Amino acid sequence: MPNEIKGLNEECGVFGVFGAPDAAQLTYYGLHTLQHRGQEGAGIVSTDGENLYQHRDRGLLAQVFADPAELKRLVGDSAIGHVRYGTSGHNSIANVQPFLFRFHDGDISLAHNGNLTNAVTLRRQLEDDGAVFQSDSDTEILIHLIRKHIREGFIPALKKSLNQVHGGFAFLLLQKDRLVAALDPNGIRPLCIGQLANGAYVVASETCALDIVNASFVRDVQPGELIVIDRDGLHIDHYTTDTRLAICSMEYIYFARPDSIIHGVTVHNARKKMGRLLAREHPVDADMVIGVPNSSLSAASGYAEESGLPYEMGLIKSQYVARTFIQPTQALREQGVHMKLSAVRGVVSGKRVAVVDDSIVRGTTSKQIVKMLRDAGAKEVHLLISSPPFRFPCFYGIDISTRSELMAAYYSVEEMRQQIGADSLNFLSVASLIKAISVPDAGDAPDGGLTVAYFTGKYPTPLYDYEAGYLKSLNEQELRAQRRQ
Amino acid sequence: MPNEIKGLNEECGVFGVFGAPDAAQLTYYGLHTLQHRGQEGAGIVSTDGENLYQHRDRGLLAQVFADPAELKRLVGDSAIGHVRYGTSGHNSIANVQPFLFRFHDGDISLAHNGNLTNAVTLRRQLEDDGAVFQSDSDTEILIHLIRKHIREGFIPALKKSLNQVHGGFAFLLLQKDRLVAALDPNGIRPLCIGQLANGAYVVASETCALDIVNASFVRDVQPGELIVIDRDGLHIDHYTTDTRLAICSMEYIYFARPDSIIHGVTVHNARKKMGRLLAREHPVDADMVIGVPNSSLSAASGYAEESGLPYEMGLIKSQYVARTFIQPTQALREQGVHMKLSAVRGVVSGKRVAVVDDSIVRGTTSKQIVKMLRDAGAKEVHLLISSPPFRFPCFYGIDISTRSELMAAYYSVEEMRQQIGADSLNFLSVASLIKAISVPDAGDAPDGGLTVAYFTGKYPTPLYDYEAGYLKSLNEQELRAQRRQ
Amino acid sequence: MPNEIKGLNEECGVFGVFGAPDAAQLTYYGLHTLQHRGQEGAGIVSTDGENLYQHRDRGLLAQVFADPAELKRLVGDSAIGHVRYGTSGHNSIANVQPFLFRFHDGDISLAHNGNLTNAVTLRRQLEDDGAVFQSDSDTEILIHLIRKHIREGFIPALKKSLNQVHGGFAFLLLQKDRLVAALDPNGIRPLCIGQLANGAYVVASETCALDIVNASFVRDVQPGELIVIDRDGLHIDHYTTDTRLAICSMEYIYFARPDSIIHGVTVHNARKKMGRLLAREHPVDADMVIGVPNSSLSAASGYAEESGLPYEMGLIKSQYVARTFIQPTQALREQGVHMKLSAVRGVVSGKRVAVVDDSIVRGTTSKQIVKMLRDAGAKEVHLLISSPPFRFPCFYGIDISTRSELMAAYYSVEEMRQQIGADSLNFLSVASLIKAISVPDAGDAPDGGLTVAYFTGKYPTPLYDYEAGYLKSLNEQELRAQRRQ
Amino acid sequence: MPNEIKGLNEECGVFGVFGAPDAAQLTYYGLHTLQHRGQEGAGIVSTDGENLYQHRDRGLLAQVFADPAELKRLVGDSAIGHVRYGTSGHNSIANVQPFLFRFHDGDISLAHNGNLTNAVTLRRQLEDDGAVFQSDSDTEILIHLIRKHIREGFIPALKKSLNQVHGGFAFLLLQKDRLVAALDPNGIRPLCIGQLANGAYVVASETCALDIVNASFVRDVQPGELIVIDRDGLHIDHYTTDTRLAICSMEYIYFARPDSIIHGVTVHNARKKMGRLLAREHPVDADMVIGVPNSSLSAASGYAEESGLPYEMGLIKSQYVARTFIQPTQALREQGVHMKLSAVRGVVSGKRVAVVDDSIVRGTTSKQIVKMLRDAGAKEVHLLISSPPFRFPCFYGIDISTRSELMAAYYSVEEMRQQIGADSLNFLSVASLIKAISVPDAGDAPDGGLTVAYFTGKYPTPLYDYEAGYLKSLNEQELRAQRRQ
């Protein structure tokens, strides 16, 4: 799979508010709860009804706004914000959102969570027609499309443009007099609407961001919808009716915050149920259950309850690992120096330990965890994964690496177990995953309204620019599979 | 109680290594696991057998050593390090340890965890004799005492000096040819010895710091001991035999890391048992048990297991709260904006919740937690504290505020419950606390070898400079108590 | 005059090199000598023949490249660089050059010194055709124009575009396989070509940048020329032959470095001659001549030599005034606290002082200098300006404020003298200015091949977007002039 | 000469004010004008009559106080400040002044310009008596001496202590109720008193610091004096009457600011006269005179006037060389890349140039200047030094390197000329230096009241700790001298 395909992949969180005093400050707190969705860049654009004001930079939110004066400069009662993780090499400040485009007929700011599957093609066409791009981001394509059609009016131009882009996307747009939100036809990325006590509306990637600003939940944005918030209130419109719900299952598995509620399902509860179903599918003979902090603790406690085994704290995670931390040399790492996780010797020593983790990507972390527990005296280490094996990449905005780096794409479960060094290794089935989440408003959408392509290879949309590379990677896999026989 | 008494209070962690390549780097990783013991300053002093090299500054370890060159400058095979929390106003860089004193007859570096109870008196005497202090820290007193007796030789001078200082202390001293560790006669602060694969010895406040550098545990330093490590190995000596074990119970309750083992007891296990005994003493009628992350999760899971109630994640803690974070204004705080903790609506809504927390100091956090849970829809909130009420200050190196700020010093449990707004409030008994910890080598020491003065007012040592203020505070309490009747 | 007209004004310096090892490092040193042309932003783009690499930020060059790793990342044997002063409000990082535009058919980087007079009109037209701008800078217009014509090939598209933009400009463009330089049809901004010992060509705003990289001077770029440097060497082409030399006289008066040679004239020598001619036009009865450091020292020494008066150091300038300096409060300023300049009491006390300065813009600095000298005991202060009165704004890339701020636009010389508080005030005549500079290759160009519109109002080009505002400002002046009668 | 002797050498500036609102801010501006005396550390200690407040750090003043809040914290109406240059290896923050010592009977702050010649001996004695030093600085010795005698009262203890320290020193001490200044018995370092409009007194190393705060000059502090400023006003006292004026001649030659007046002599005037006398002693046949900016411009203009040759700007100095500047590699340096100085080709090309510089230390800069001028086309380069050859080190607080690095200590003038590559090289005579300065209140003090030991080897005080090393260096010189014959 070509390198540049990976490069376009981003993880993000978005937040917007329209018509509330201290809009930038509210956005700051909203982004704070979304920081887990992206730690490499953050920004806010506000408007006072006249002008748009911007601050964005690389780094964590607290670093970007380390000088409180930067936040104070963002005056006005409306704002949008963005946190971003971009794969290395594409992390220049030019790619940090929200983007702010200045036009003689009115400025537009744009923030995006997701990934477009036809970005390369669209960009090439636009450039051949004279477009000048300022970033590597596929997000910017939307504004060029809008401007191509701007003589038809902004909203018509936006609707037309949203029908030209494909993939998974949640867009926020801010103009001096309105805030617009749009979601892809499959609702792959989460996006929800809340309301403050003063009546102002808030839009966010996850409900945890509504909670921190004390906004009451109004509704999830639905696939194909176009939400317009202006001085007259909230307007629910759509740019397409050809929709089918297929929410990204990884949001539930590990990406979203446990307190968020996506399409009616509390993430912690879904994870706990994944743990319970995992215990039913794969009971183990062990003295205790431990989780890998922090994202796997919910599933681990579910496994413990269902299995009746005691739930223990066998691994602890340092709260103090900073970006600037001096990493141990290879020599020290081999001596067992790890900065993030430690095994609790007094808990696991002499015990048969069932470790619950949420996923396996490259397998390197799993290998370290097993070794760490054995070094701390664990007699047996049984690894239980609360999701099915990741075998296919995500093209919709979560970076789980190129296909060639996915351990499960090339190895059987038994081969993985051997490489990781566990006494046993088991995964949750796709059916149980869907059952654990049980999206209430899935209707008759396939796979319970979820995207489970990472496990099955069946994507809910055409892959466009990625199609050729994807097929090529499959052939390679088959070749390898044959070589192994 | 006079303000300056509080000012002298410090929380700290120490680490030392003698005779290992990359000693400063090992110290850095050791301090990393001790960061929870102090986040406001950090430093390392190393020696190559000729000179002593120093770097220290305010801030977290990763900030102090943000420039890797600073760590590389600290050459040599031996080092000591320190992390520190100092109460505000005394947080100048002059107070950041390890201190490094340069003498024509050989440099000495000094790091200290603890608090001396006769520091004011000693300092006044020394100054009247011509001493010039460079810090506000009581740590510095030891070096002035040593130099007063230096003509008798270093070790005799040190022993004499250690008999002149009183309180709770764990000292590390580094000279170009040896590392010395000393513990107070009651062993109030923890200190342990480990050994690296190459035979080099390591000394640290907690065993988690031994684990990260892959050192095997050798023994806890015992009350009154003087440990000397030099090119000939480890020498166990003592400066007094008038000793009696009285380890600080707060180390087990909330201060130490859960994976540390202090005097044979794994902290996580002790906490879990506190939760179990709390469940026996105070069963509640609830739908679930939740813990306040992170320090109360062990006790909460113990409570859940003993009570048979499900253990849920009803509160989550942000991993991204930085020192530079812009705090919500009072107006926003009243609207419910809190940066650190969030209630998980989808878990607690409509439920009767039993919340386990490790302690109550001022009561403000408890009040916020209860409000947060009720805002998220909890029907009932029962607060369970896995330690007895804090009624008396610590004079031995843990900052639980001046007496006047301790809620339990002035209010009954029922009054506290009303102020906090919980449906019920219960504390663990002192007897159960002692039973939960059960220090194996306590022998016949009172209170099971623990300092529980924070709950009982019975301190294991005379209070010296603090005596008058302590008595005065008691009188005030009685006056208040009378006024309330 | 509308505010936005001022906003577009910028001062800048550019540097480029093609085909030399360590191109980015050479560019760094070249920009260092051009730092006086812009202190608010700096950047470098390099190419290794494959990719283009970029680093740019706000601040001085040394701040932008404070981390040496940033410079090392800019690999390759060709590079262009830029230093910039942008008027406040437009100093976002998006406006810092060189700009780097990425296209599927090849990246282009662009750096510009100058100002376009038809930028507003062009930008509006382009936006109406779908263009999305990333900056407020008129520089960006060129790339959009080029892309409009790109199907005709790059050089033809560039030539066509250069004929569409008007004003004063010196452009550098870098592609992976060539460096292009272009100068406006009047040669208003300076631009010169040099050659390194290895044969590689260098292009720079001033010859001082050739000197620091030890490049020998080849020639000045001439009006209307298009210089292409590629692997085959230097190609001199032109995009128009309708040219007439009109170099900006302010480059000689105060903007360029004294060691630079522009169109054959060493700036220091021109300034010294301005001082000599000033002495002939306006002899004064004084005890000494002093210059305002640093830009007026050449003229002052010329005045001293011609007049026979001693040349003294009566004012000194602090070398340590940093951007972060805490400025004196108004109260302190009134007490005479100034951070930049000090009068030398021991030199001027009791003396009649002739002060030579290069120009008067708002008059506030002149007023301070006169007060400072009188406070230091000067008996008389005679102010001599080595240029004519600034009465009209620059539309070609030097920020001498909007017309309404130019003191000489509204006041007579005698009125100015009174406001400034000098005993006498005299300016150099336009004729003497032209004579002092005496551009050798001016031929029969009007005003000796110089732009002297700042003094005469006669601009060498149409003013386009500025025309209306300019005329309006004239009417206002006349109205004011009448009111004063 | 042993290395540690060099290490103790420091250059500094001090400023103090007592009884003026915004004392710390005044001190900040005062230190700003003294920044040339030390660029590696700065600090201010203020008092409000109750407490002493401190901020100090490494770096330039503007860096140390980059956060304006730091300056605002320094409340009160009295303050002392310090700027410092410390030789490398001793530049830890512990050595940055003013020092602040906290005692139960009252805090004392201390700032020092100078160097003690018996520091090593005193420190050893004090340490043997139990003293604990916090810095490497000899400044700290004074406070230990004072505390030894403190039972006699502060002023008597201070006087006694001042008689125990030897060398060149100007001390400022701040207590909550007074400011004390003391000068060594030879007045080697400058120190002056001024008065603000409100009557408050100011003390500073140079009069330029009085000027910036608009203080009127009161008097120079005289050798052996002890100045006490308190609520009752200014008290002139002395601690010894065994005094003899011997001001450091290097202050006049290059160290002090040209606008300062030391013992009645304006520094610029003294330098100009050095240039005039140099022209009389060493006329050269040249086309022009140029100075090395900035410190040699005064002498150069004096030379030009006396010789009748034109004064030109043949070298210019960049204003933008920052501490963080990336230095050219050796390869680039050999190609002629220098960041600080540039030769003005259009001025010197084809000319016989007389270059005036203030001194030669190692000779490396002189060599570069000559090469630079020749590269720029100068036909002849005649180097004229406006001071005698530096042959002996300074032990009183100016760092002119260890003896072994002084070019003139080992080579004849002709040998120096050859190494430097000049067409001629000449120095001012000691007699002319003394005549050029002509200190009015020198009385019958030897050498016109100046220290000229750097040229003659005749020091005005015993050398104590330095004596042995000094003699040893002499022998080496003689040995070398013999080898050369």
Binding-site positions of C read 295, 357-358
Percent of chain D surpassing pLDDT 90: 78
Which one is catalytic: C12, C192, C248, C394? C12
- How many residues in total does chain A contain? 485
Q: Is B358 annotated as a binding residue?
A: yes
Calculate how close chain C gets to A434, using CA atoms only, in Å.
41
Handedness of CA A135, A137, A143, A149 (dihedral sign): positive
Pinpoint the alpha helices (H) of D319-404: 330-334, 345-348, 364-375
C105 to A127: CB separation less than 8 angstroms, yes or no: yes
Q: What is the pLDDT of residues D100-124, one digit of tens each?
A: 999 999 999 999 999 999 999 999 9
Per the structure block, which two tokens stand in for B370? 């209860």
Name every chain D residue with its beta carbon within 8 A of the beta carbon of B91.
none
Which residue in chain C has the smallest CA separation from D28?
Answer: C326
Strand pairing category for C311-312 and C288-291: parallel
Tally Cβ neighbours within 10 Å of residue A242.
9
Distance of CA C449 to the CA centre of its chain: 17
Mutation pick from D51, D105, D107, D132 vs chain B, by most beta carbons of B within 10 Å, is D132
Tokens 């979820």 identify what position? A450
Whole-number pLDDT of residue A6: 38
> Beta strands of D335-454 (E only): which ranges?
341-343, 352-357, 380-385, 424-427, 450-451
Please give the backbone phi and psi of residue C180, each rounded to the nearest 5 degrees, phi first: -120, 140
Q: What is the pLDDT of residues D168-219, one digit of tens each?
A: 999 999 999 999 999 999 999 999 999 999 999 999 999 999 999 999 999 9
CA distance A101 to A107: 6
Nearest C-alpha neighbor of B46 from the set B67, B30, B23: B23
Name every chain C residue with its beta carbon within 8 A of the beta carbon of A133.
101-103
Per the structure block, which two tokens stand in for C3? 């505010």
B140 to D132: CB separation less than 8 angstroms, yes or no: yes
What value does the CA radius of gyration of chain A take, rounded to a whole number of Å?
Answer: 23
Q: Which of D93, D101, D129 sits opposite B93 (nearest CB)?
A: D93
Name every chain C residue with its beta carbon within 8 A of the beta carbon of D68.
326
* Positions of chain C with pLDDT lower than 50, given as ranges: 1-8, 88-89, 478, 481-482, 485
Q: In what order do the strands lie in the sheet with D233-238?
A: D99-101, D108-116, D167-175, D178-183, D225-230, D233-238
C150 to A130: CB separation less than 8 angstroms, yes or no: yes
D131 to B148: CB separation less than 8 angstroms, yes or no: no
| Residue B298 DSSP class | H
* Residue type present at position D149: H
Does C contact B via 3+ CB–CB distances below 8 Å?
no
Pinpoint the alpha helices (H) of C321-387: 330-334, 345-348, 364-375
Binding-site positions of D for Mg(2+) read 295, 357-358
Non-local (6+) Cβ contacts of C139 within 8 A are: C97, C99, C110, C111, C112, C171
| Residue B325 DSSP class | P
Apex CA C365: angle with CA C364 and CA C371, to 5°?
95
Distance of CA A331 to the CA centre of its chain: 34
Nearest C-alpha neighbor of D312 from the set D340, D286, D278, D274: D286
Q: Which of B324, B339, B345 sits opposite A211 (nearest CB)?
A: B345
Side-chain half-sphere exposure of B36, counting CA atoms within 13 A: 19
CA distance B156 to C326: 54
CA distance B120 to B396: 14
Whole-number pLDDT of residue C6: 38
* Residue type present at position C45: V
Whole-number pLDDT of residue C330: 78
C29 to D335: CB separation less than 8 angstroms, yes or no: no
Model confidence band, residue D297 (pLDDT cutoffs 50, 70, 90): very high
A347 to B266: CB separation less than 8 angstroms, yes or no: yes
Name every chain D residue with its beta carbon within 8 A of the beta carbon of C347.
259, 266, 268-269
Pinpoint the alpha helices (H) of C324-466: 330-334, 345-348, 364-375, 407-410, 413-420, 430-437, 453-456
D259 to C345: CB separation less than 8 angstroms, yes or no: yes
C104 to A92: CB separation less than 8 angstroms, yes or no: no
Apex CA D395: angle with CA D394 and CA D398, to 5°?
55
Q: Contact at 8 Å (CB) between A400 and A361?
A: yes
User: pLDDT in tens for each of the 485 residues of chain B?
Assistant: 233 333 345 689 999 999 999 999 999 999 999 999 998 899 999 999 999 999 999 999 999 999 899 999 999 999 999 999 875 445 678 889 999 999 999 999 999 999 999 999 999 999 999 999 988 888 999 999 999 999 999 999 999 999 999 999 999 999 999 999 999 999 999 999 999 999 999 999 999 999 999 999 999 999 999 999 999 999 999 999 999 999 999 999 999 999 999 999 999 999 999 999 999 999 999 999 999 998 899 999 999 999 999 999 999 998 887 767 787 877 777 777 788 899 999 999 999 999 999 999 889 899 999 999 999 999 999 999 999 999 988 888 876 555 567 899 889 999 999 999 999 999 999 999 999 999 998 989 999 999 999 999 999 999 988 888 777 777 665 455 445 54
**3-class DSSP assignment, residue D360:** coil
Tally Cβ neighbours within 10 Å of residue C93.
16
Q: Contact at 8 Å (CB) between D83 and D13?
A: yes
A130 to C123: CB separation less than 8 angstroms, yes or no: no
| Averaged pLDDT, D236-257 | 96
Is the pLDDT at D433 greater than 90, yes or no? yes
Non-local (6+) Cβ contacts of B359 within 8 A are: B253, B254, B385, B386, B387, B390
Please give the backbone phi and psi of residue C121, each rounded to the nearest 5 degrees, phi first: -65, -45
Q: What is the pLDDT of residues A231-270, one digit of tens each?
A: 999 999 999 999 999 999 999 999 999 999 999 999 999 9
Non-local (6+) Cβ contacts of D471 within 8 A are: none
Q: Which of D311, D326, D329 sits opposite C301 (nearest CB)?
A: D311
Nearest C-alpha neighbor of D32 from the set C337, C150, C1: C337
Name every chain D residue with its beta carbon within 8 A of the beta carbon of B144.
130, 132
Helix H or strand E segment including A269: helix A267-281
Catalytic residue status for D12: yes
C345 to D207: CB separation less than 8 angstroms, yes or no: yes
User: Which residues make beta-bridge pairs with D183?
Assistant: D170
Helix H or strand E segment including B267: helix B267-281
Name every chain D residue with its beta carbon within 8 A of the beta carbon of C211.
342-343, 345, 376
**3-class DSSP assignment, residue C31:** helix
User: b/e string for D398-430 if b means 16 or more Cβ within 10 A?
Assistant: bbbbbbebbbbbbbeeeebbeebbbbbbbbbbb
Alpha-carbon dihedral D157, D160, D164, D168, rounded to 10 degrees: 90
Which residue in chain A has the smallest CA separation from B67?
Answer: A324
A29 to B65: CB separation less than 8 angstroms, yes or no: no
Calculate how close chain B gets to D129, using CA atoms only, in Å.
7
Calculate how close chain D gets to C306, using CA atoms only, in Å.
11
Interface of C with A (CB under 8 A): 54, 92-94, 101-105, 123-124, 127, 129-134, 136, 140, 143-144, 147-148, 150
Q: Which of A28, A266, A310 sits opposite B346 (nearest CB)?
A: A266
Mutation pick from B134, B137, B154, B173 vs chain D, by most beta carbons of D within 10 Å, is B134
Pinpoint the alpha helices (H) of D282-378: 297-307, 330-334, 345-348, 364-375
Whole-number pLDDT of residue B10: 62
Name every chain A residue with its beta carbon within 8 A of the beta carbon of B319.
35-36, 294, 319
CA distance B73 to B67: 11
CA distance C76 to C23: 6
A127 to C136: CB separation less than 8 angstroms, yes or no: no
Apex CA B402: angle with CA B400 and CA B408, to 5°?
70
Tally Cβ neighbours within 10 Å of residue A430.
18
Name every chain D residue with its beta carbon within 8 A of the beta carbon of B109.
none
Calculate how close chain D gets to C206, using CA atoms only, in Å.
13
Non-local (6+) Cβ contacts of A185 within 8 A are: A223, A224, A240, A242, A243, A244
CA distance C187 to C251: 12
Non-local (6+) Cβ contacts of C160 within 8 A are: C145, C149, C152
Is the pLDDT at D244 greater than 80, yes or no? yes
Q: Is B357 annotated as a binding residue?
A: yes
DSSP A190-224: --EEEE-TTS-EEEESSHHHHHHTTPEEEEEPPTT
Q: Partners for D (CB, 8 Å, 3+ pairs)? A: B, C
Strand pairing category for A167-175 and A225-230: unpaired
Calculate how close chain D gets to B67, using CA atoms only, in Å.
15
Whole-number pLDDT of residue D469: 78
Tokens 């809008």 identify what position? A146
Which residue in chain B has the smallest CA separation from A332?
Answer: B213
* Positions of chain A with pLDDT lower than 50, given as ranges: 1-8, 88-89, 478, 481-482, 485
